[in-house]
Amino acid sequence: MNYLKEKRFYRFLIPSLIGMFLFIMPLSVDGNLTIPVAVLAHGLLDLMGDYMLMIIWFLITLSALLTLMHKVTGVFKNYPKLNHLFGIKGFWFGVRMIGFVFVNMIVFEAGPEIIIGDVTGQVVIHDLMPILVCVFFLAGILLALLLNYGLLDFFGALLIRVMRPVFNLPGRSALDCVASWLGDGSIGVLLTSKQYEEGFYSKREATVIATTFSAVSVTFSLVVISEVGLEHLFFPFYLVVSLSGIVAALVVPKLYPLSRVPDSYFTEAAQKEDIPDGQTPFQYGLQLALNKGEHAPGVKAFLIEGIENVMEMWLGTLPVILALGTIALIIAEYTPVLKLLGVPFIPVYKLLMIPEAELASQTVIVGFADMFLPSVIASTIESEMTRFVVAATSVTQLIYMSEIGSIIMGSRIPVSLKDLFLIFLERTIVTLPVIALFAHLIF
């Protein structure tokens, strides 16, 4: 094996092993399965402590002020990355400004209860935003270990003959799912977005992966099933979630709107996965990885790119999450809209012979606002089977605007709010019968 003597082999191997350890290696911490980068994120969160609230306020305020300054003066027009970050228009400009207004209201408690209350703005800024600030920081800097040194190229070639025929996706997309499953769905979306920007995923592939393979972590799934008092059924619960998720991954991309997303690319230099004749997937993957390692960035370039990624996520995505997450919770808590939208599911639950169908139906659309809300509502339902079905459905719905939905919309992945809601509904309709079937076998 002559490549063992080549410098480029170690430029591929060492950063890739570090990246695999940080983003994929499962760890048991306090009895919960997680990954090192998630542990680091929580450690950073503890370190920030009481300063975190003002850090969030500063980042969102800075984003809004720089956006307004650029809009008035065009100060960043000669700097492509800054122009892209702050030169937003129309809907996204409005969302960023709403995020600025909301963060000042919530932090300084100067506004209507509907915005700054304990079930809306306070939930987003205290329960969601702090960990995302830390995850964005670590992921922004460290994701390059997966992206830039050949690891995804290697695994992409190994898995292309599985992912392409089964899901019509590149082999490397499997790594997005693993990072989400062991760590956090937001990490999977960030990884997917970067791959899309670099030409490894088409618009269709990036949209399908972000809305289908950014799975809910094992840790959060345990929190959900614990909320409905069924933690003793965690293993059958997560098995059902996984199986129904696979069914959704097979079916939903074949439906509108995902079926209509074009296979065009963000960049003209699209990166194709095609194994040449005469080579095994392993040989081709190693060849790609070694080529990537040969041109891999040094420490300085690694840090510069990482800081740019962090700034883009902090200043571009955080205002979107705060604005859309708060609005989604306002709609869920203060209007009957989501409950009314759940009424058509009453006959569905009755057809599937799920007890307390009326109560269960109230949880269906609420999950679009926040994944945890259905389980909170379902905790008062008497039937264990119904609580199990509601919890499993909320996890497999996957898209919720208080986090994943807002992150997707804040990224460059081309998907609209309407499309996200349609995909959410389709995932619900596809997975609910599967979950109900297994629920009847378990109870």
Contact call for residues 386 and 354 (beta carbons, < 8 A): yes
In order along the chain (443 residues), what is the average pLDDT of each group of 10 residues?
75 89 78 75 87 95 95 89 85 90 95 91 85 84 82 81 85 74 69 86 92 75 79 85 92 94 81 74 86 83 87 87 85 84 93 93 86 78 94 91 80 89 96 96 92
The residues pairing with 29 across neighbouring beta strands, listed in sequence order, are 32
CA distance 413 to 192: 8
Neighbours of 259 (CB within 10 A): 11
What is the reported pTM?
Answer: 0.74
Task: Give the pLDDT confidence score for residue 270 in this predicted structure.
Answer: 65
Q: What is residue 240's predicted lDDT score, i.e. its pLDDT?
A: 93
Q: Tell me how far apart the alpha carbons of residues 402 and 215 are, in angstroms, rounded to a whole number.
A: 15
DSSP-derived secondary structure for 362-383: TTTGGGGT-TTHHHHHHTT-S-
Choose among 388, 389, 394, 381: nearest CA to 332: 394
Tokens of 374: 């259905």
> Residue 148's pLDDT is what?
82
What tokens does 42 get?
């929580």
What is the rounded distance in angstroms from the CA atom of residue 252 to the CA atom of residue 246? 10
Element at 437 (helix H, strand E): helix 417-442
Q: Residue holding tokens 């997966």?
A: 146
